[in-house]
Amino acid sequence: MAEGGDKHPLADKLKSALDALSIGDTKSRPKSNYAFWSTQPVSQFGEAEEGSSSATGSGNGPIDAPKTVADVKKEPYALPANFQWDDCDVDSDQTLAELHELLSLHYVEDDENMFRFAYSADFLRWALRPPGTRREWLCGIRVTTTKKLVAFISGVPMRMRVDGEERPMVEINFLCVHKKLRHKRLAPVLIREITRRVNLTDIWQAVYTAGVVLPRPAAEAQYWHRTLNPRKLVEVGFSRLAPRMTMARAIKLYRVGATPTIPGLRPMVAADVPAVTRLLTGYLASFRLAPVLHEEEVAHWMLPVPNVMHTYVVERAGTGELTDLLSFYTLPSTVINHKTHTSLTAAYMFYSVPATVPLAQLLGDALILASSTGHDVFNALDIFENGPVLRDLKFGIGDGKLRYYLYNWRVAKGMQPSDVGLVML
Ligand code: MYA
């Protein structure tokens, strides 16, 4: 896609999905010049890995000189004539519908423009209204005359732990510019403006992911895809049958059981929040980059939301103790210009905690639950401890990466995917 702004895992379509071959990552090289990003407090390419400046003694720390809220510009950044800023209130059904339309038509596509993310309105409301969220961080641009919403960027608060240091941060997501307004440098204005608005609340760091290479990833994760509905994936062009593979054999190969295998597995309910918070806190402590979740956030992010979030706990018989957790979310994509299919339904692995049940069995049950609820493919990154178990579960490797970035925070030592304990939507 143009300027490669995507993070669409379907951009990483399995080139030979049914024999799971990797064809290598062709989009990994940095550009020679980043007119905007070279001006920002982010790690730059060419910098030595082990930074000399250190606020924490570890070589990690803020990149900008310390500032206070008083140093932050009080006026919004100027927009080109005939555009105006507008905070998006996603509690308003009308505004939510406008945002849904903008993203449905103009958000992330794969390189060949075959698929485009189609976040549902319910998904967007959930993703954009966690505890502590602020309306001015749902930052839209409208055409002054028609009031049409043509660009957007979001920030939601998240306490993050990086190499043992906890910081209040924002997660930046849903950066989108209407196709007719591309390459006019609106994206840098959106990024500067959301930075200003976040800085005004005395928050100075952010985390974000993108498929595109920007200065400079803290970590690079790999998408893997588990075929659940081979016929549909082949028909829409997401996968193709490998030589000597027939559809009948593919259907047999990817068939999963009808019901989960783990005794005591059941959907998470509100009363589970304290126990799930303890489980997650303990597990996430082992990763270099992970969110710090309190009960309020766990209630928001982990409780099931129909057709959006699917969370299951393992309850030990007799004691009622919760021992393990698995979760995934539903993200459909529009199938662009197809005669018969309009949509592809993907499940994405979210947070899981393997404590008494091996991760492979938790994920295996996630495949069963996703398949039985109509998902066509199950996507996972090689973050957490996923790497070693994906191949055995018949995941095939994609051909691109999802990069994790930190704004105004230098990480002295690059992270491996297995250091990452953060999922961004
Ligand atoms: S990732 C999803 C991004 N969205 C899409 O891919 C949707 C489809 N594409 C579009 O809508 C547009 O193509 C976008 C660019 C909006 C992506 N992240 O305005 P331009 C740089 C960051 O002329 P356009 C997500 O949501 C590019 O290198 N920068 O380009 C996380 C160039 O800079 P430089 C990107 O194509 C977002 C400049 O923009 C991205 O019209 C995290 C060109 O601008 C990208 N994905 O619009 C944002 N793609 O000259 C950062 C291109 O330097 C947050 N660019 O090469 C930072 C933290 C802020 C808060 C801090 C608080 C403390």
Q: Helix axis angle, 93-106 relative to 121-128, nearest 10°?
A: 110
Distance 141 CA to ligand 1 centre (A): 15
Distance 424 CA to ligand 1 centre (A): 16
What is the C-alpha separation between 43 and 215, in angstroms, rounded? Answer: 6
Give the model confidence (pLDDT) of 382-407 as tens digits: 999 999 999 999 999 987 799 999 99
Residue among 3, 174, 180 whose CB has most ligand 1 atoms within 8 A, to mutate: 3
For residue 176, the number of C-alpha atoms closer than 13 Å in the C-beta half-sphere is 25
Q: Is the CB of 194 under 6 A from ligand 1?
A: yes
78 three-state secondary structure: coil
Q: Is the CB of 186 under 6 A from ligand 1?
A: yes
Residues in the chain with pLDDT < 70?
1-27, 49-57
Q: What residues contact residue 15 under an 8 Å CB cut-off, 6+ apart?
A: 21, 23, 240, 399
- Per-residue model confidence (pLDDT) at position 103: 98
Distance 142 CA to ligand 1 centre (A): 18
- Per-residue model confidence (pLDDT) at position 5: 35
Distance 177 CA to ligand 1 centre (A): 9
Q: Is the CB of 188 under 6 A from ligand 1?
A: yes
Q: Is the CB of 7 under 6 A from ligand 1?
A: yes
Q: Is the CB of 191 under 6 A from ligand 1?
A: yes
What is the C-alpha separation between 178 and 197, in angstroms, rounded? Answer: 22
Sign, CA dihedral 289-31-224-23, equals negative
- Per-residue model confidence (pLDDT) at position 398: 87
Task: Single out the catalytic residue among 10, 99, 293, 425.
Answer: 425
**Start-end of H helices in 179-291:** 186-199, 230-235, 247-254, 273-284
What is the C-alpha separation between 380 and 382, in angstroms, rounded? Answer: 7
Q: Is the CB of 170 under 6 A from ligand 1?
A: yes
Reply yes or no on whether 425 is catalytic.
yes
Ligand 1 atom nearest 199 alpha carbon = 63
- Per-residue model confidence (pLDDT) at position 49: 62
